[in-house]
Amino acid sequence: MSGLHQQNDPVRDNKRFTKAEDQFIIDNFRTMTDKDMATTLHRSVVSITCKRARLKLPGKNIKKATSKSDTARFLASVDDDERKKFFEDEVRNSASFKALHNSLEMQDRKSVV
């Protein structure tokens, strides 16, 4: 990851973000948590969260809805890939999926998950 961080700086919070770091956040904010990006970039979680906010990028775990209308509004605002991920997460977190998953043999689990 050349250009993302300097090897000698364990945490670079006192430095400005480079263009490469900005681009890394833009490219990965949907698939990585702020904590994961902070680890990769050798930054604090707070600095990543603040930078992501300054870039006007939502957090990865924003999608927790409190009502059906919130869920519908969220789903209407995201692209197809994010919508698919939302439903996959909902299914994986359901009690039915967990019960089915626990009842399958290890080999069968690989084909389901």
pLDDT of residue 22: 92
Decide: 5 and 15 in contact? Cβ < 8 Å: no
pLDDT of residue 1: 46
Q: Give tens-digit pLDDT for 27-39.
A: 888 888 888 888 8
Q: Give tens-digit pLDDT for 54-80.
A: 998 887 654 444 456 667 776 777 778
CA trace torsion 83, 95, 36, 63 (10° rounding): 40
Q: What mean pLDDT value characterizes the chain?
A: 75
Q: Give tens-digit pLDDT for 5-27.
A: 544 445 555 688 999 999 999 98
Contacts of 58 (CB under 8 A, 6+ apart): 29
Please tell me whether the overall predicted TM-score, pTM, comes out greater than 0.75 for this model: no
Dump the DSSP string for 6-50.
Answer: -TT-S--TTSPPPHHHHHHHHHHTTTS-HHHHHHHHT--HHHHHH
Higher pLDDT, 111 or 66: 111
